Amino acid sequence: MKIQQLARNLLVLCVFSLGWAAIAQPGDEPIFRDVSAAAGITATHRGLWDDKEAMQGYLAIGQAWGDYDRDGWVDLFVTGNLDPNALYRNRGDGTFSLSEHSQQLSLPDVPSGGATWADYDNDGWLDLYIVNYGANRLFRNEGGHGFTDITLDAGVGDTGKGVSAAWGDYDSDGWLDLYVTNWSCFPECDPVDFGAQQDRLYHNNGDGSFTDVTGSLDYAWTLGAGFAPTFFDYDGDGDSDIYVVNDKLQNEIGNVLWRNDGAGCGHWCWTNVSAESGADLLINGMGVDASDYDNDGDLDLYITDMVYQMHLLMNDGAGGFRNRARSTGSAINMGPDNGVGWGAVFFDYDNDGWQDLYVAATNYHQTFPELEVSFMNPRPDALFRNDRHRGFHDVSVNSGIDADLPTLGVAYADYDQDGDLDLVTGNWNSGYRLLQNQGGDQHWLSLDLRGGGDVNRDAVGAQARLKTADGLTQLQTVSIGAGLGGNNQLTLHFGLGDATAADLHILWPNSVECSLDAVPANQRLRVVYGVTAGCG
């Protein structure tokens, strides 16, 4: 009997171990497959960092998804840094072709970093903003037939060392405003002039022009070596706040959280709540993304770090954040791992209704006694699966994302419209990889929100809450600017798991609400403010 009992116990232990392995590790089939060559993505990236001899460097990359020709298929723009930029048109058959307008946007004589698609003039066509080392450029989309450089007329041609940009309608007037992060002038300048690389906040005037309103922010807190900004409503009061990730290598002010306090302070009222909220990380910050990863109804932050472990700031729902990277298992650490984090995005790759996490990474080397440091060495990226209990499992191994490349940028989109999210990664001194999701066996819902009237055309800032019959509620926000130097698709993508329908509640940026009940799964639903029944 004792032998039989022991055998049963061993069997239970074996089954439990196998079950845990199935959760913690991907199956035999890879989650993603590199289809770059077959899809026609061949753009190159060439960057330089030499702070010892050449005394120059520009750590920047850009990957932006957007349907510029409005044919229903999301297109891709990538920057080359020292190489030309490239615009790829999605042909709708799984492949891309170099757009006939690519040359116009290539900027071969200007080092380019981040890029974002945004309909700044509300004409229904996505325009393109390219962040450069030198004058940034805004290209107006001429109805899908080409682009016009309107930078001078618009007044958004800041000449700093730009890295990333984000768009948000902070004053809810129906027009998208713009935040640009500039890194330091180091190593080219000596001594370093922090004021020369100040971040920029631009207010959209609604007439095709912008006003530089950076002065509405406390000057000293706009001088960090900025890598990535994001607009997000951290306190749930209905307006867009701003979070800025800074690199403490130059000007140690830490990351900054600007709370949006509305009109009344000249142009606009902003309060620096970094310290009181717990978001004032003094780190070598690189990238950022905001998402409700724990499905508790508020937005959390993931911030990457060059030198130390990554940071997951869990929103406590009371105006504060708690760092939970280590306890959730989502920290790529220094030490024996030597991981350097760059871009990062939350996305539900397996359609189970919980936000997973992708972290673009390189490897850090330091030699002794010379103290020579290199941080652009190849390292596999990290893919973390949400365990549905406020934690993550590292499923990177055999997931199909591994590559002997140093990766800086990442952005997601369902480019092939098969119901799951795919990825593009930007690789330093190499090029771009298109990673096709091989999953898609669970239900999903794609939500395309369109504004009108006093709601910006892209519906940036709109919140969608989705509830399924099992009681699970998800929150997603339309945003432009994520990770590092790019943007994801504008369309919101919800995984539904086994659910075949869901209830939707939409909060538009002007505080108007609407609800849609029992929306069937596995469809692309467009909701237009003021047009869709009951929505505005």
1: pLDDT strictly greater than 80: no
Tell me the three state secondary structure of residue 28. coil
CB 23 within 8 A of CB 393: yes
When pLDDT is cut at 50, 70 and 90, the band that residue 336 belongs to is: low
Q: Residue 365 and residue 338: Cα distance in Å, rounded?
A: 7
What torsion do the CA atoms of 196, 199, 205, 207 make, to the nearest 10 degrees?
70
Name the token pair of 175: 């027009």
Q: For the residues of 167-203, what is the DSSP string, one character each?
A: EE-TT-SSS-EEEEEEE--TTTSSS--GGGG--EEEE
**What confidence score (pLDDT) does residue 24 get?**
37
Q: What is the pLDDT of residue 441?
A: 82
Q: Check: CB of residue 394 under 8 Å from CB of residue 383.
A: yes
User: Which residues make Cβ contacts (< 8 Å) with residue 40, sequence separation at least 6?
Assistant: 88, 95, 96, 97, 98
**63: Cα within 13 Å, side-chain hemisphere:** 29
pLDDT category at 392 given cuts 50, 70, 90 is: very high
What percentage of residues in the chain have a pLDDT greater than 70? 93
User: pLDDT tier at 183 (50, 70, 90 boundaries)?
Assistant: very high
Cα–Cα distance measured from residue 204 to residue 294, given in angstroms and rounded to the nearest whole number:
34
| % residues pLDDT > 90 (the chain) | 85
Q: Which pLDDT tens digit goes with each residue over 42-54?
A: 999 999 999 888 8
Confidence at residue 365, expressed as pLDDT on a 0 to 100 scale: 81
Give the mean model confidence (pLDDT) for residues 149-161.
97
| Residues contacting 1, CB < 8 A, separation 6+ | none
Average pLDDT value for the chain: 92
Q: Is pLDDT at 56 greater than 60 in this prediction?
A: yes
pLDDT > 50? residue 22: no
Would you say residue 439 has pLDDT above 90? no
Q: What pLDDT band is residue 21 in, cutting at 50, 70 and 90?
A: very low
Q: Given pLDDT bands bounded at 50, 70 and 90, which one contains residue 340?
A: very high
Mean pLDDT of 131-159: 98
Segment 448-476, tens digit of pLDDT: 999 999 999 999 999 999 999 999 999 99
- Report pLDDT for 257: 98
| pLDDT value for 6 | 37
**Given a cut of 60, is residue 11 above it in pLDDT?**
no
**Residue 141 vs residue 52, higher pLDDT:** 141
Q: Indicate the pLDDT class of residue 338, thresholds 50, 70 and 90.
A: confident
pLDDT band for position 369 (cuts 50, 70, 90): low
User: Residue 371 — very low, low, confident or very high, per pLDDT cuts 50/70/90?
Assistant: low
Residue 204 has pLDDT above 70, yes or no: yes
pLDDT digits (tens, 9 = 90+) for 476-509: 999 999 899 999 999 999 999 999 999 999 999 9
Kindly give the residue spans of alpha helices, DSSP state H, lying in 40-113.
Answer: none
Lowest mean pLDDT among 20-29, 72-81, 213-222: 20-29
pLDDT at 368: 66
- Please state the rounded mean pLDDT for residues 3-30: 42
